[in-house]
């Protein structure tokens, strides 16, 4: 009850603080002039280290004020920064610095998943053309706290100076494990850790703070240091570890919990662990109200709460000897019991292998922390650490091997209802604190409900007809077609950064899993442009896909070549579609009307897009990719266009597509149009909208409605959307 009381007080206070800031920021932002070439000036504090590198650096700003019409106004908001140009932006300013920036400020797109829509504040993004537009105006306490991390990071050997093996197995994991820097990790390594449910072991987190504290405590016991001296030394050690680790939120949260507990003992006012946990929640939420809604906060307090409440009951049911082994197993299982439902709801992973490998992986992670700390010190004082680096690299490979084995028992599952996850949490709490006779039934019910949500039947598409949904992926295309237990994906969206292959994991996969799609009958990439194809990399890597279809047109920037390679690695068959081909499965038919063809002088790759007709139970949808007017005219000349129910508007509504004759021949009952909010291309064009309006075709746009779904059923047509309007 003490834990619940203090956490509730912190939540209410944090929510109040968020509401005040949000009202202020919104009122200032809406006063900005609505002109396409607007340049904005914002001041604030860099809240994190830069990720990525020139020419695509990303950062996070805690904005403080915004200039409107030459006057400064308070603007307490969270702004994601995107800096272009060749100049390294970290030389201009880094975390903790107060900065002034010049660029274009926009509202951030809606989150990928409806799980995030309830956040009670608006996020913003700012595009900055060059690091020269980032100017340091001062330093803050956070700048001072960042000095240890910056110092140790700069003492690491430069990237590529010691070979690929060192960068992959030593430099990357060392920077992540002790410094909280994840940008240099190998992408394949990260994917294996994520699938195995052990990613939290790879980066500085609350678990690492606890492990480091345990290592220090073990050393103090061996040195026979006890009492207040032990607690004081342990408190200082935790503080330094958090600073060196970059003082990221997970480490800070764990440090606050441990710090309050140790401080109470130092002042001879010892408190129970649950009360320390509640007071730390209060302190954290008052200091940073947005932590109220952080999934990391939930996981931190769930893990610590699980360890506090469940370790002892689990330990009593395990063998007495060896004590250290089974105590570690009990702690690991207790943390997994508390966090598994949250991980399942937020990340869709049921990491069965993590339950088996965690008792081995956690001690190995502790050993790597101790070894990595020694390596950092040696690098800092200029002493070679060759043997230790080799040993660290071998340990890193072994930890990755455990993650890879755990991935074999990890499953991506449809998003469970939040009420179900909350019920599992309540039953788990009852299994620990209810009267003795009720604990076994509560534990059994918690396990049964978890298994039902994880492996029960997923939502399916219409049994008759089909649904077609334009997924909101920003300035790009991704169309999901579903019927019965089948799903077919056309394009995957993506930014115009050809290296941003993780877009699908953060933006597209959550949408598919929210809809219960855990397997795809086919994936079609209409043409090799990043705003259509980048999201498909993660789809091919993470989901079972029966086949990948590509356009017969020219490749561009080797995008299709890389997609082929990713598909081959995942065991997905790849086929190039030819015009005139037809595919039938489960009562549905896909007819390829156009694919490839001659390279035209204007919009050459766009006009080689696949154009396809999907049919089932007498309902039809025309999928046009980015095909323009020349391709439309060629299809009209060959008599390939028939009347359809739904038209996917070509090329995001550009004026170079969706000709009047084409629309008149197709006679769609409605049109789906995918484009980004306030996109730099001005899509959709006014001419295109006038053409559709003149032919009485209702248009449903993702920039205004977000995800738009059309159910084409024998009894009628149903249109629904997630909704901005």
| Exposure on the CB side of residue 315, measured as CA atoms within 13 A | 20
Question: How much of the chain is in helix, strand and coil states, percent to nearest 5?
Answer: 50, 20, 30
Domain boundary pick from 139, 171, 199: 139
Say whether both 358 and 484 belong to one domain.
no
**What secondary structure letter does DSSP report for 545?**
B
Other residues' Cβ atoms within 10 Å of the Cβ of residue 140: 15
Contact in structure between 211 and 237 (CB atoms under 8 Å): no
Domain identity same for 544 and 634: yes
- d(CA 397, CA 271) in angstroms, rounded, equals 41
| 268 in the same domain as 289 | yes
Please tell me whether residue 235 adopts helix, strand or coil conformation. helix
460: in domain: no
Does a structural domain hold residue 249? yes
pLDDT along the chain (725 residues), means of 10: 53 57 84 83 92 79 91 91 88 92 85 66 84 92 87 88 91 89 81 80 77 84 87 89 82 80 80 70 70 74 80 85 77 85 89 80 87 92 90 94 84 91 92 90 94 91 96 93 96 78 85 94 96 93 94 92 92 94 93 91 88 96 95 94 96 94 96 89 93 96 94 94 70
Judge if 511 and 644 occupy the same domain.
Answer: yes
Contact 525, 564 (CB under 8 A): no
Q: Are residues 390 and 485 in the same domain?
A: no
- What value, to the nearest 5°, has the Cα angle with vertex 261 and ends 260 and 267? 85
Judgement on whether residues 684 and 621 belong to the same structural domain of the protein: yes
Taking the C-alpha atoms of residue 190 and residue 100, their distance in angstroms, rounded to an integer, is 34
In a domain, 312, yes or no: no
Q: Which of 139, 166, 190 is at the close of a domain? A: 139
The whole domain housing 61 covers 2-139
Among 90, 98, 100, 76, which Cα is nearest to 22's? 76
How far, in Å, CA of 253 to CA of 281, rounded? Answer: 8
In-domain check, residue 508: yes
Please check whether residues 127 and 184 belong to one and the same domain: no
CATH number of the domain that residue 679 is part of: 3.60.15.10
* CA atoms of 166 and 393, how far apart (whole Å): 7
686 within domain boundaries: yes
Residue 511 belongs to some domain of the structure: yes
Q: Which of 107, 163, 276 is nearest to 724 (CA)?
A: 107
Task: Indicate whether 647 and 521 sit together in one domain.
Answer: yes
Alpha-carbon distance of 511 to 513, in angstroms, equals 6
Structure-token pair, residue 139: 């330093």
Per-residue pLDDT at 135: 94
Q: How many domains does the chain have?
A: 4
Residues 158 and 177 in one domain: yes
Question: Could you tell me if 128 and 276 lie in one domain?
Answer: no
Looking at the fold, whether 83 and 154 belong to one and the same domain comes out as: no
Out of 111, 139, 167, a domain closes at 139
Is 87 within a domain? yes
Are 690 and 610 within one domain?
yes
For 411, other C-beta atoms within 10 Å of its C-beta total 16
User: Tokens 């996981």 appear where?
Assistant: 299
Cα–Cα distance, 447 to 449 (Å, whole number):
6
Torsion over CA: 311, 317, 323, 328 (sign): negative
CA angle, 129 then 134 then 135, to 5° = 155
> Quick check: is 504 in a domain?
yes
Model confidence, pTM? 0.85
SS3 473: coil
What are the b/e assignments for 6-28, b being 16+ CB within 10 Å? bbebbbeebeebbeebbeebeeb
Residues near 143 by beta carbon (within 8 Å), at least 6 away in sequence: 94, 95, 96, 97
Q: Cβ distance 672 to 646 under 8 Å?
A: yes
Quote the crossing angle between the two packed helices 141-155 and 227-244, to the nearest 10°: 80
* 3-state SS class at 691: helix
The number of angstroms, rounded, from the C-alpha of 17 to the middle of its chain's C-alpha atoms is 26
């Amino acid at each position: 009850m003490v834990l619940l009381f203090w956490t509730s007080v912190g939540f209410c206070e944090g929510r109040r603080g968020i509401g005040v800031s949000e009202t202020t920021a919104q009122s200032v932002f809406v006063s900005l002039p609505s002109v396409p070439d607007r340049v904005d000036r914002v001041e604030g504090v860099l809240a994190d280290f830069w990720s990525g590198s020139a020419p695509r650096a990303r950062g996070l700003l805690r904005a403080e004020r915004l200039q409107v019409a030459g006057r400064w106004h308070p603007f307490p908001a969270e702004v994601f920064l995107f800096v272009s140009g060749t100049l390294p932006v970290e030389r201009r300013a880094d975390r903790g610095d107060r900065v002034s920036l010049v660029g274009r400020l926009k509202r951030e797109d809606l989150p990928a998943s409806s799980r995030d829509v309830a956040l009670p504040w608006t996020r913003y993004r700012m595009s900055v053309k060059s690091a020269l537009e980032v100017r340091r105006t001062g330093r803050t306490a956070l700048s001072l706290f960042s000095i240890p991390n910056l110092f140790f990071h700069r003492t690491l050997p430069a990237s590529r100076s010691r070979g690929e093996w060192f960068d992959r197995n030593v430099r990357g994991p060392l920077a992540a494990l002790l410094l909280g820097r994840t940008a240099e990790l190998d992408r394949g390594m990260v994917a294996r850790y994520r699938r195995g449910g052990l990613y939290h072991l790879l980066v500085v987190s609350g678990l690492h703070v606890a492990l480091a504290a345990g290592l220090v405590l073990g050393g103090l016991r061996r040195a026979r240091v006890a009492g207040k001296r032990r607690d004081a030394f342990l408190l200082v050690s935790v503080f330094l570890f958090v600073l060196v680790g970059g003082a990221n939120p997970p480490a800070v949260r764990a440090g606050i919990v441990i710090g309050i507990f140790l401080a109470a003992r130092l002042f001879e006012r010892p408190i129970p662990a649950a009360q320390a946990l509640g007071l730390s929640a209060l302190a954290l939420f008052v200091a940073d109200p947005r932590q109220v809604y952080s999934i990391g906060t939930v996981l931190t307090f769930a893990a610590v709460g699980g360890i506090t409440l469940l370790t002892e009951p689990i330990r009593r049911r395990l063998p007495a000897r060896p004590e250290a082994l089974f105590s570690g197993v009990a702690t690991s299982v207790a943390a997994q019991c508390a966090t598994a439902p949250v991980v399942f709801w937020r990340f869709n992973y049921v990491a069965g292998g993590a339950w088996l490998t965690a008792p081995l992986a956690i001690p190995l992670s502790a050993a790597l922390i101790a070894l990595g700390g020694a390596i950092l010190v040696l690098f800092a004082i200029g002493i070679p650490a060759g043997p230790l680096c080799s040993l660290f690299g071998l340990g890193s490979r072994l930890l990755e091997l455990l993650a890879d084995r755990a991935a074999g028992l990890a499953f991506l599952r449809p998003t469970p209802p939040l009420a179900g996850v909350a019920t599992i949490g309540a039953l788990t709490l009852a299994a620990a604190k209810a009267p003795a006779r009720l604990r076994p039934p509560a534990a059994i019910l918690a396990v049964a409900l978890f298994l039902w949500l994880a492996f029960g039947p997923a939502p399916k598409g219409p049994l008759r007809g089909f649904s077609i949904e334009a997924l909101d992926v920003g300035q790009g295309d991704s169309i999901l077609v579903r019927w019965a237990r089948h799903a077919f994906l056309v394009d995957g969206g993506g930014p115009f950064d050809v290296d941003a292959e993780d877009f699908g994991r953060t933006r597209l996969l959550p949408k598919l899993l929210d809809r219960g799609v855990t397997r795809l009958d086919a994936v079609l990439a209409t043409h090799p442009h990043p705003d259509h194809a980048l999201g498909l990399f993660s789809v091919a890597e993470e989901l079972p896909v029966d086949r990948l279809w590509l356009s017969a047109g020219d490749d561009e920037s080797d995008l299709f070549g890389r997609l082929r390679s990713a598909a081959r690695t995942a065991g997905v068959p790849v086929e190039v579609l030819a015009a005139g081909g037809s595919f039938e499965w489960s009562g549905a038919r896909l007819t390829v009307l156009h694919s490839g063809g001659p390279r035209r002088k204007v919009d050459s790759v766009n006009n080689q897009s696949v154009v396809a007709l999907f049919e089932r139970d007498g309902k039809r949808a025309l999928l046009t990719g980015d095909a323009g007017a020349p391709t439309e005219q060629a299809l009209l000349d060959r008599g390939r266009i028939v009347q359809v129910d739904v038209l996917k508007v070509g090329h995001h509504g550009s004026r170079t597509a969706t000709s009047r004759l084409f629309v008149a021949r197709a006679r769609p009952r409605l049109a789906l149009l995918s484009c980004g909010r306030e996109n730099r291309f001005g899509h959709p064009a006014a001419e295109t909208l006038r053409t559709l309006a003149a032919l009485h075709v209702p248009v449903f746009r993702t920039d205004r409605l977000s995800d738009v779904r059309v159910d084409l059923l024998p009894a009628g047509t149903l249109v629904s959307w997630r909704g901005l309007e």
